Homo-oligomer: A and B are copies of this chain.
Amino acid sequence: MDVRIILVGTTHPGNIGACARAMKNMGLSDLMLVRPRHFPHEDATARASGATDILDAVRVVENLDEALLDCVYVAGASARSRTIGWPSFTPRDCAARLLKEAQTGKVAAVFGPEKSGLTNEDLDRCHALLTIPTDPGFSSLNLAMAVQILTYELRVATLDGPPPVYEPEAPLASGEDLEHFYSHLEQVLIDSGFMDPENPRHLMRRLRRLFIRAEPDRNEINILRGIFASLDPRKPGQKS
């Protein structure tokens, strides 16, 4: 079981330590931090309570894309239901899905800042939402508790035996594959005049969600890139 936990913009370093302990309790070790407010910090070490090996091995990065470069499947924690539809998983179903995809590459679960959660832009990088069932009247889970619940489900699923053998035609596209594709797509759409180069973000967000919901594998991303390359108005020999 090799599921990466990624904490984005964590405010309280104690929560980072508590997450490390929760992970180690359940047999996980791969923790990445995106722009933590304070790290390293004595509160993180104190709350890790013996899981300092995980804190020592933490990688700190500047943005979520960097943390996802090698990931083929990503679930993003979200307390709210979202207007534009991602598939939304319970912790149990999310654990099963992560372990299934982990047979073909690195997978990750992403958790946002304590108060605000992941932004929509962060969620655009996620194949699915993880939504933990809570009392609607008091739904704000502590960050480390959310990590504990998912990692507990990962451990239970692991103990329940290996997931059924899964043989995709090709591995799912990695974060790096996707980002190259999106960059390429954006450039092609600007060149074609379809996208306003001054304001590409809204359209790109919709397209990201569209494509990631399709869970493209590496072959499919290559096909898509071939298609858009062939349609690029700036392509040599193309009419402009």
Neighbouring B residues of A135 by C-beta, 8 Å: 24-27, 155
Q: Which of A140-160 contact B (CB under 8 A)?
A: 140-142, 144-145, 148-149, 152, 155-156, 159
Neighbouring B residues of A159 by C-beta, 8 Å: 133
Stoichiometry, copies per complex:
2
Size category, A interface:
20 to 34
Neighbouring B residues of A138 by C-beta, 8 Å: 24-25, 50-51
A18 in contact with B132 given A149-B149, A152-B149 (CB within 8 Å): no
A90 in contact with B156 given A25-B134, A135-B26 (CB within 8 Å): yes
Max chain B C-beta neighbours (<10 A), residue from A141, A152, A155, A159: A152
Q: Which residue of B lies closest to A114 (CB)?
A: B49
Is the CB–CB distance between A140 and B92 below 8 Å? no
Q: Which of A35-52 contact B (CB under 8 A)?
A: 49-51
Seen from chain A, the residues whose Cβ lies within 8 Å of a Cβ on chain B are 18, 21-22, 24-27, 49-51, 90-92, 132-135, 138-142, 144-145, 148-149, 152, 155-156, 159
